[in-house]
Structure 1
Amino acid sequence: MAANHSEHVITMNVSFDGEAIGTCDILDGDTGKTYSLSVWDGGHKEECYICPFEPKANMEEREVTFLHDILPKDLLERVQQAYENGSQDSMVLTKTDLNYFHQELVEGERYADWMDRIAKGNPNFSDKELEIYQSMKKDGYPEIDTMEARVNAKDNDISLIKAERIIDKYVDKMNENSPLIQSKTDNEYKKQYQLHSVDIEGDRLNMKYLDRQNLGFNSKTFTYTQDNGMVSEIDTTISKGVPQSYLIDRMSIKEMETHINTQTSEKTVTRITQNQMEGMER
């Protein structure tokens, strides 16, 4: 059960709307959202039930929960009387009325709402929802991959402008650890990696550096994707007019920031094709 939750409001309404005999409406005090569960009659007043979502127990389908198992006797009788008379009634269900089930009902429907939004292609969550999700996960709720990605992206959320400064400092560090290269044009000794271009496409930053050891043929590109906070370091050589790219490293932008003040270690080089590189950066 998530800690530090706000006051929730749960109402049981007997209204005979369509096939259902009523609704159980839930106002989530933590998110401000409202969820609604249908109340079904089961063919008899003693068999009225709802189908709450209980992700801790079953992620695949909802479970039948009979009202006589969760409501106190007086409220249950009110629902059954309205059911028999075909009349309308509405009642607020307090924490005392539902005991432990009060908070679990809210959390289960909140969880179901998140999964439904993801399934409908609307995986946008507020910072508050991400905080609540992390709290619920600590209390035993299963992970949701999309929300995990959002949490990780938030933790690594660094602007493109700041990322550009970090990458440039990172390359400066590499230049400090590399010998100066004598320029063929003015015979002066210059740093190995020279910034050639900076391009921004949506949430992606591309910084291309020319390698003075083989000017015109070798280059190094850093691609930062703000959505996942990752930076790819790619070396490109041109042989007989055909570019060949090599994945040198892949790390989070925050990890790169910490490397600025440490000695750059030797890196493993993995050869990749142009298509693989484009697929990896998406």
Structure 2
Amino acid sequence: MSIAKGLRISGKAVILFIFSVFTIFPFIWMIISALKTKAEIMDVNHFFPETFQWQNFTDVLTDSPLLQYVGNSLFVSAVTLLIQIVTGAMIAYAIVFLTFRGRGILFGVIMCTYMVPTAATYIPSYIILSDMKLLNTFTGLIISNCVSIFGIFLLRQAFMQVPKGLIEAARIDGGSHWKILWRVVCPITKSSFITFGLMNFISCYNNYMWPSLITDSDSKMLVSQGLRKFFIEGGAYGTEWALVMAGSTIIVLPLLILFAFTQKWFISGIGGDTGMKG
């Protein structure tokens, strides 16, 4: 029996190892390519460079506005996420803990909007921002993404696991809805908040199509736009793929650091763990 159990564990370990190799290989290839010359990247017969070209990273950092692009993306993503958390938590709280006519219909309408293709909203959103004189601004980028339907759904599912008796007790003690939300519900469902925050931060950080439509100034570009314009699309480096890979590595680094510090709560949030015991 123990031998069979050991074989099952070993089989799972082998499968996980294989999937892990396929998952991490693009990152390894990107980093190794960043340390090659252009000719070595085009040579498929050698995986590792003959000499590590560390100057590719210094060239990217000193001779390009990449750090400005990263700073723009971090700022826009952080502010957008903060607003999304507040709006998502308030809407989810109202749907779960408040009693009013049409509550189920409201949630149904919200979820139906999730099925609308994002591209279908580009033209009306562009017109609205144009009328508000917010094109080519960070404000336009932020307010056009200030509500996350995914976040509302995720937080609603987490809030539904909070005992209603706990909320009633907080109300009896004189707690307002605002205090109950942030001092009672939020700490209990912390893992779901972190999962929501991490996924939406990455999505906003990597967003390309919508920022490309409403911003055209180099000083307002996010990382995806900047990487394409400056490094690939006839920019200063043209097709210098080693520098493109070096820039991509620098761009990905903040996301890897963020995930490293939040993976524990992220996995708990994906699994539906709200932190409730017993």
Q: Which has the larger radius of gyration?
A: 1
* Greater length-normalized contact order (CA 8 Å, ≥ 6 residues apart): 2
| TM-score using structure 1 length | 0.26
Bigger fraction of residues in helix: 2
Structure with the higher strand share, 1 or 2? 1
Taking structure 2 as the reference length, the TM-score comes to 0.26
